Structure 1
């Protein structure tokens, strides 16, 4: 499903894979975020950290009248404050989507799927 943006010159369709790539880039740019996790952790493997080509498996995008709602699944570094990491991810995802794609995002939900410890 593509997100449709109406402009004065016509309609723009942005595919979910493009949005997921932007969201993934914004997410992993945050200190304390080890990587993206799959939203189906039990099926795809709990410990699997997604690479750039698979960001779509760690991002859920839905379109509402208020704008685009984004759910982001992440793995964080042990010892970091989850509230600080989550707030940073939310701000950065909103900023990236607004500045790069012109998409209004009223809500970014951050779901921590795992914590990576140093062995």
Structure 2
């Protein structure tokens, strides 16, 4: 289901892909995040996504003006995963709520890998 809001001037419908791209962009701005991950369930392989396909690492479900977001990330080696994910959730929640006007429900973070930065 898409994000749906009624205003006094008309109706606003937000596609899940738009929210996913925005959430992915907000995520990679966070300290300690190397990038978004695509998981191949069949092979169990994790792939670091390029900037153009960042939304593939994000799954958004919108129901009754409430968003649930799943994010698959790769973190930098040597950082505190707890600190990075708490910062990520806070940052994405704030930015997506401001961007869409919808309330963020749950934001689930799946750490799919660790990468040593060059």
TM above 0.5: yes
CA distance in 2 between partners of 1:80 and 1:41 (Å): 25
Q: Map residues 1-20 of structure 1 onto 2, 5 A cutoff.
A: 1-20=1-20
Structure 1 equivalent of residue 56 of structure 2: 57
CA distance in 2 between partners of 1:20 and 1:108 (Å): 12
Report the CA distance between 1:16 and its aligned residue: 1.7
Structure 1: stretches of 5+ with no match in the other structure: none
CA distance in 2 between partners of 1:66 and 1:19 (Å): 13
Count of aligned pairs: 118
TM-score normalised by the chain length of structure 2: 0.86
Structure 2 equivalent of residue 68 of structure 1: 67
The structure that is strand-richer by fraction is: 2
Structure 2: stretches of 5+ with no match in the other structure: none
Structure 2 equivalent of residue 84 of structure 1: 83
Q: Is this contact kept in 2: 1:3–1:14, CA < 8 A?
A: yes
Q: Secondary structure at the match of 1:31?
A: coil
Aligned residues: CA RMSD: 2.1
Q: Map residues 37-56 of structure 1 onto 2, 5 A cutoff.
A: 37-38=37-38, 40-43=39-42, 46-56=45-55
Give the direction of change, closer, same or farther, for the CA distance of 1:37–1:107 in structure 2 (3 Å limit). same
Q: Is this contact kept in 2: 1:24–1:52, CA < 8 A?
A: no
TM-score normalised by the chain length of structure 1: 0.86
C-alpha distance after superposition, 1:58-87 (max 9, x if no partner): 111112346101111100011111111111
Q: Secondary structure at the match of 1:112?
A: strand
